[in-house]
Amino acid sequence: MGRAAAARIAPLGYRVTGWRRDGTALASILPTADIVLNLLPLTPQTRGLLDARFLAALPRGAALVNLGRGAHVVDADLLTALDSGHLRHAVLDVFHREPLPAGHPYWTHPQVTVLPHAAAATDARSAAAVVAANLRAARDGAPIAHLVDRRRAY
């Protein structure tokens, strides 16, 4: 997902830097990030990753877009970073509890945009093609595509 997003964002004039567990040290790129776009899977290692320490490593005025999972974000830490002015904005598509409870501070916070959890809608045509290909593979004894890698937890 990260590569696909980067391929669409870079032509819009954004400088895109990616991170993954076996690549660039995350701590080295956060201080230069104007916008963090989170598309990570939820694993024991990524749960709560977007916490006070992570957010403090961003430059003042940075923004966060979370399209990954709600449990990546420590809500209280994000709200503190927004209220202090350290972060300028957060766009959130996923939450710890969905639907987002009516009284949650994200609904009324002036620096938060709440999306309707539609950042990754499934396209029936492409999904059907994947299902059909996997059925053929199962019938033919071939490897099934897009399986969860249990070692990586996603």
What dihedral do alpha carbons 112, 114, 118, 120 form, nearest 10°?
20
Query: Dihedral sign, CA of 152, 37, 80, 32?
Result: positive
Single-letter amino acid code for the residue at 8: R
Q: Which residues contact 22 (CB under 8 A, 6 or more apart)?
A: none
| DSSP H or E stretch at residue 144 | none
- Please tell me the distance from the alpha carbon of residue 51 to that of residue 57, in angstroms, as a whole number: 10
Strand order across the beta sheet in which 112-114 lies: 35-38, 62-66, 87-92, 112-114
Task: Enumerate the active-site residues.
Answer: 69, 117
